[in-house]
Amino acid sequence: MRVGMSLSSAHRVEDAREGARWMVERAAAARDAGLDSLFVGDHHVTGPGKYYQNVPIMGRILAEWQGRPAGCLFLLPLWHPVLLAEQVGTLASIHDGRFIMQCAVGPADAQFSGMGIDPHFRPSMFEESLDIMRRLWAGETVSGSRRFSFTDARIAPLPPEGVEVWIGGEADAALERAARLGDGWLAAPGVSIEDAAMMATRFMQHRAVLDEPAVVAIRRDIYVGESDEEAEQVARPILDRGYRGFAPGVAIYGSAETVARKLRAFAPHGYSEVLARNLVPDQALALKSIERLGRVRELLAEA
């Protein structure tokens, strides 16, 4: 099982530069820890906390990353596919390794009203957008006449190694879509291990029709402490405040050995990638946790 980093993009800081600096420092810590991949998320119409948008921040943190897979999550219906294909093509050209686009339909929330997009059409917009982008990345000249209307679009630079696509979602229709259109599936961070097992099984059943391998990945909010006792002292107050609405037991904390043991439980269900997001907002503790994730990665590699 590979261990990557999904950087938190939301930070409650007074100085906007401080949150951006934290993300750069965390990316460098993930590099030094030898983690396998690096990602940032996608969210819009945010506040009052700072949310650092994925394309510019990824362009900056790629300077801290060296050759290993990296990428961004995009809620496709919120982006024009030609613009996004250009952005990804440029990011993939900046990066000296494999670029992965994580993508999802997105929830029908304030992001859609704030961006002036009817959420009713999210599934069809998603599929049309992904098809358009793949054709543009292949060097085609593309026109659109359905959800996205445009004429004779083409892009440059093209992604040097192509773009791997992981699709997120939880409902069976989303799992089928991921199996049919993606190179992998990404499970949400808030699902229980029981639900994660069931969803992975359904995804692989849908994927079996294609008879092609696929990545099965999951995000988890994690704190790796210097010991189980220290991790309990740090994480418990955060979880007791109702952390992100997660059910008890979803977030993972403990020593490197304890965290590795908890993550290892996903492997029998087909999960090959776990993307760790910092459970603890304090920067000094977050950097220490990322450093210890390197040991978690070693323990999982030994299994």
pLDDT tens for the chain, 303 residues: list them.
999 999 999 999 999 999 999 999 999 999 999 999 999 999 999 988 999 999 999 999 999 998 999 999 999 999 999 999 999 999 999 999 999 999 999 999 999 999 999 999 999 999 999 999 999 999 999 999 999 999 999 999 999 999 999 999 999 999 999 999 999 999 999 999 999 999 999 999 999 999 899 999 999 999 999 999 999 999 999 999 999 999 989 999 999 999 999 999 999 999 999 999 999 999 999 999 999 999 999 999 996
- Sketch the domain layout of the chain as residue ranges: 2-221
One-letter amino acid of 12? R
CATH of domain 2-221: 3.20.20.30
pLDDT score recorded for residue 174: 96
- What residues contact residue 226 under an 8 Å CB cut-off, 6+ apart? 255, 288, 292
Q: Provide the whole-model pTM.
A: 0.96
**Whole-angstrom Cα distance, residue 220 to residue 223?**
10
Other Cβ atoms within 10 Å of 303 Cβ, number: 10
In terms of C-beta density within 10 A (0-12 exposed, 13-18 middle, 19 or more buried), how is residue 16 classed? exposed
Residue 47 has a pLDDT of 86
Is 164:221 a contact under the CB 8 Å cutoff?
no
Q: What is the pLDDT of residue 66?
A: 87
pLDDT of residue 263: 98
Q: Alpha helix locations (H) across the chain? A: 16-32, 54-61, 81-94, 110-114, 122-137, 172-181, 193-207, 228-240, 256-264, 283-302
Antiparallel, parallel or unpaired: β 215-224 and 252-254: parallel
pLDDT of residue 118: 95
Listed residue (118, 7, 208) closest to 200, CA to CA:
208
